[in-house]
């Protein structure tokens, strides 16, 4: 079992966090667990995503990103960090386990 950590900066132009790199990474993996953490470095918001995975066999078909991960990302995109101080952001520590995948 391996772990890959992604640190995704907030894009002020699109007012969102891009999940493209995580989606691409998970395409040929069996995702065991995802844990996320929202944080600021200075004025820049970031979203850290840790993916615990196993390499999927070529014959295994599974969704690239489970719906609960996409839902969590959508909730983060609803509010613009430029309108909030780091103290106003809710603590975000999602732990998603994918036993059914």
pLDDT given at position 81: 54
pLDDT given at position 77: 53
pTM over 0.85: no
Cβ neighbours of residue 100 under 8 Å, at least 6 residues apart?
Answer: none
The pLDDT averaged over each successive group of 10 residues in the chain (101 residues) is 93 91 91 93 93 78 58 56 53 50 41
């Amino acid at each position: 079992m391996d772990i890959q950590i992604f640190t995704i900066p907030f894009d002020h132009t699109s007012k969102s966090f891009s999940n493209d790199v995580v989606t691409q990474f998970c395409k040929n993996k069996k995702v065991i667990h995802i844990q996320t953490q929202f944080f600021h470095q200075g004025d820049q918001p970031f979203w850290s995503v840790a993916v615990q995975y196993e390499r999927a066999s070529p014959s295994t078909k599974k969704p690239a990103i489970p719906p609960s991960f996409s839902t969590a990302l959508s909730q983060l995109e609803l509010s613009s960090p430029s309108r909030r101080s780091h103290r106003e952001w809710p603590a975000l520590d999602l732990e998603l386990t994918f036993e059914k995948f």
